[in-house]
Amino acid sequence: MSKHDLLIIGAGLAGLRAAVEGVRQGLNVAVITKVHPVRSHSNAAQGGINAALTDRGDDWRDHAFSTIKGSDYLADQDAVEIMCKEAGDALIELEHMGVIFSRDDEGKLGTRAFGGQKKARTFFVGAITGSAMLHVLYEQSVKYNLSIYEEWFVTKLVKVDGKCVGVIAIDMKTGKVESISAKSIVIATGGAGRVFEPSTNAIICTGDGLSLALRAGAELMDTEMIQYHPTTLAGNGILLSEAARGEGAYLINSENERFMERYAPDYMELASRDVVSRSEQTEIDEGRGINGCVLLDMRHLGKIFIEERLGYLQEVATEFMGIDLSEKPIPIKPGMHYIMGGIKTDYNGATSVPGLYAAGECANVSVHGANRLGANSLLDTVVFGRRSAVNSVEWVKNNEFIEIPDEILISEKKRFQSLFDQPSSGIRPGKLRLEMAESMTKGIGVWRDEKSINNAWEKVKNIRENYNNIFLDDKGKVYNTDLIGALELDFMIDVAESICAGAKARKESRGAHFRTDLKDRDDKNWLKHTLVEKNDEGFMVKTSDVKITDWEPEERVY
Ligand SMILES: Cc1cc2nc3c(=O)[nH]c(=O)nc-3n(C[C@H](O)[C@H](O)[C@H](O)COP(=O)(O)OP(=O)(O)OC[C@H]3O[C@@H](n4cnc5c(N)ncnc54)[C@H](O)[C@@H]3O)c2cc1C
């Protein structure tokens, strides 16, 4: 059995940043990932990363206030303070590692405007920021000679005496099932976008880590907070980055009106994402849309500017819609993009399970609260990825390795075998996955109410029952994606139920959670986090207080 001081599940930005830090701290570190590291979803991030640099006349407090207002006052303000204070150093460190951030006319690091903030503080690499960052962190992992279990799929976190002591994982190349023991574990498995269809997320974003943590007894926090991004392509859900609006694109309706004037006169297209998505949906619902969409108009920016600053968007528009953005507006609509909720951690990345940490999109620290600002997620991954590794050092020093009992490995193997042994009359997992994801979008959408939430939840429960009748065509060992797909679906069902449980519990509207049956924010009763736990009776919801430091909740207008 392999052994490591620190095992990180996930090789996106959060995982790799944690890994580099672990090595710097002198730990024996390994990363385990179901895809090659640079295929992680971080690679798809386009728009940029926020930081308030003092020598630019910017102030972390202003960034913190925008983040807290953006969160509809649900973010924990002590955590937001840490993120915004550490942002400058995190950004400069990335630049020194080799991220080729775009520069302005004077040769300094350039910025662009992003939603929910008055100051342009988003640093970027054209429209491929995530890819540039991820490749540089991967280079660092090579420099530090990191052990990477590449194309290994984690199926279970192992707990002994209440502590997290390792994982069970499948080597996808050979089908071998093994246990890996570790003194501490960081979950950095990314988002759960594919619990919804369509989604801007990569097909691998199935929320595995949320379910792994839940099954190990950790709590998920504010799971109802699902971000619908204002500009996604209808049908396939592909994202057109907020960078477009940051660089000056307009949103118009079928009457050629810049309708944001009615909803957010001060911030216009750059109001926070939940506000813009609801405004678009209102236009569409009230008959001022075009085939269920509104239009993103960039014609006034000119071809040269678009191709220089937003080249990737032009590529997507041409390839998928046959549209040249300098000549024609492009139809877009709100689409599922990000999950603010996740594994509850403190601002050092620790979960409630000893030895278990989490960072990145799968974690909820909570810096995004009820609505994340664009370009704050890349920042979250590097700041809290690093912190989770730093804070695991103490635990590693004070704890011994614990052997993973054989019976746990045997029982996992039996579980997989039972999937292979199912009768061929069964249902394909892919069919269930699509049915579930479509009903989640229907029930837990831009708008939701008691009935729609109940309907989605009923459907998920029904999918869980049907899961017992799935059938796998592929019985082989090598790259059995049929098996992996089935195991992902098993995780996704847990995530979907947790989202429904959170949404049903929160009896108000706040940020991305807009209930048409309870339209107001209710600070008196609901300035609170929801905490979902899974036990023998099902998915239980508790609440906990939101940490307020300097910013008392106010009415949120843009
Ligand atoms: C299209 C798009 C554009 C975006 N643009 C921006 C932007 O401009 N700015 C911004 O701030 N944010 C942006 N975001 C959000 C941001 O990119 C993500 O939140 C962030 O990159 C997530 O990083 P991560 O390290 O947490 O996870 P990921 O990068 O998703 O990595 C997850 C890792 O976990 C591994 N993994 C998962 N499950 C398992 C398992 N069972 N076993 C083994 N390994 C597993 C995967 O292999 C992968 O390596 C964007 C998101 C999308 C989808």
Q: Which of 531, 522, 529, 530 is nearest to 553 (CA)?
A: 522
Q: Which of 20, 9, 132, 37 is nearest to 378 (CA)?
A: 132
User: Which residues are within 8 A (CB) of 430 and not within 5 positions of it... i.e. 6 or more apart?
Assistant: 485
Residue 215: per-residue pLDDT? 98
Question: pLDDT (tens digit, 9 = 90+) per residue, 50-68?
Answer: 999 998 999 999 999 999 9
Does ligand 1 have an atom closer than 6 angstroms to the CB of 33? yes
Type of residue numbered 426: G
Q: Which of 365, 7, 360 is nearest to 154 (CA)?
A: 7
Choice among 17, 121, 245, 273 that is catalytic: 273
Residue 303's alpha-carbon distances to 105, 125, 256, in angstroms, are 19, 19, 21
Does ligand 1 have an atom closer than 6 angstroms to the CB of 485? no
The domains found in the chain, sorted by start residue, are: 230-334 (3.90.700.10)
Q: Which atom of ligand 1 is nearest to the CA of 202?
A: 53
Supply the residue whose CA is at minimum distance from atom 41 of ligand 1.
154
Query: Which residues face 294 on adjacent strands?
Result: 332
**Cα 63–Cα 49–Cα 40 angle in degrees, nearest 5:** 140
pTM above 0.75, yes or no: yes
Residue 274: per-residue pLDDT? 97
Sign of the CA dihedral 238, 242, 247, 252?
A: positive
Q: Which of 348, 361, 395, 323 is nearest to 223 (CA)?
A: 361
Helix H, strand E, coil C: the string for 45-100 is CCCCEECCCHHHCCCHHHHHHHHHHHCCCCCCHHHHHHHHHHHHHHHHHHHHHCCC
Give the mean pLDDT of the chain. Answer: 97
Residue 237: per-residue pLDDT? 92
* Local structure of 497: helix, strand or coil: helix
- Please state, as a whole number, how many other Cβ atoms lie within 10 Å of the Cβ of residue 171: 16
Cα(48) to centroid(ligand 1), Å: 14
Residue 235: per-residue pLDDT? 81
Does ligand 1 have an atom closer than 6 angstroms to the CB of 277? no
Q: Which atom of ligand 1 is nearest to the CA of 337?
A: 53
* Local structure of 491: helix, strand or coil: helix
Does ligand 1 have an atom closer than 6 angstroms to the CB of 11? yes
Q: Which atom of ligand 1 is nearest to the CA of 377?
A: 11
Cα(44) to centroid(ligand 1), Å: 8
Residue 67: per-residue pLDDT? 98
* 273 given a catalytic annotation: yes
**Cα 542–Cα 392–Cα 372 angle in degrees, nearest 5:** 50
Residue 408: per-residue pLDDT? 98
Low-confidence stretches of the chain (pLDDT < 70) are none
Residue 81: per-residue pLDDT? 98
Residue 309: per-residue pLDDT? 87
- Please state, as a whole number, how many other Cβ atoms lie within 10 Å of the Cβ of residue 506: 27
